[in-house]
Structure 1
């Protein structure tokens, strides 16, 4: 019953583990809550999945409105020569390159969805090396 309620609220676990893996971060790599007042740099490498995306949600699990109507970055937007080492900016200010606007001054979460996982992501998902989330400057 509890799992059904979580799925209804958050939409996670909607696909079986063979089809998708979900990883959610509410804190940066230093263990601090993700704040919409701050900028962050996500750095990662190859993700063993057919397709993946990173999406920004509020703490209740909803997309955060922003004037750019941009909520995520997917693997299809990563240039082929950067697939092994990529950077995504998350910030309240518009950024060049791959960027997700925070759209809020409240705390938020980032969810990595990996579809059709392969390799370790399919066989031992707890040992996958996930992107780092490094905090930058914050607005007051």
Structure 2
């Protein structure tokens, strides 16, 4: 009887560890194919002809329509540059430069992937429609309260993520020496 108990316990532990590591690899994936640059994360193999098994699992799990490798790359941030989770109770400032790209968009989404931009405003910030600093860097304010300069107005409450999509980019392909990503600085919180 003791043998059966230990056998069932070992099977339960093996299944728990196996499913737990699989879930981690397909959601967070930092050790299995995700490129992490500050608070921004991207799956660079997502549009490849033959992506690695973890990227294929991630694609199957999210069931999202992704860009091909030659079309662009999507970065997602769920925390600020200090590692604090993004929440609509606070305002944020996105500072710095983006990797070389023909065009880019910045969108705020809730946990389900729905756009949370305020009604009657632009649903995304576009690279072609922002004012830049003298050195070409971007300064974008994100939050529910009115902020100066470039502003992505949010609605609702709770956590959110920022999605920066670079179109026609050479990031991670070896052709771009500019691997910098903008930082996300937390401002005032309610």
Task: Note whether the superposition's TM-score is higher than 0.5.
Answer: yes
The two structures, once aligned, show a CA RMSD in angstroms of 2.2
Name the CA distance, whole Å, in 2 between partners of 1:56 and 1:45: 18
Larger radius of gyration: 2
**CA-CA distance at 1:94 after TM superposition:** 1.9
Q: Report the counterpart of residue 31 of structure 1 in structure 2.
A: 83
* TM norm structure 1: 0.82
Q: Report the counterpart of residue 62 of structure 2 in structure 1.
A: 6
Q: Is the contact made by 2:88 and 2:156 (CA closer than 8 Å) also made in structure 1? A: yes
Query: Which is bigger in relative contact order (C-alpha 8 A, separation at least 6)?
Result: 1
Q: Structure 1 residues 116, 122: CA separation in 2 closer, same or farther (over 3 Å shift)?
A: farther
**CA-CA distance at 1:16 after TM superposition:** 1.1
Query: Which structure dedicates a bigger proportion of its chain to helix?
Result: 2
1:128 aligns with 2:179: yes
1:66 aligned to which of 118, 122, 131? 118
Alignment: residue pair count: 132
Q: Is the contact made by 1:37 and 1:104 (CA closer than 8 Å) also made in structure 2? A: no
Runs (5+) with no aligned partner, structure 2 = 1-55
* TM norm structure 2: 0.62
Runs (5+) with no aligned partner, structure 1 = none
Name the CA distance, whole Å, in 1 between partners of 2:100 and 2:155: 29
1:57 aligns with 2:57: no
Q: Is the contact made by 1:18 and 1:122 (CA closer than 8 Å) also made in structure 2? A: no
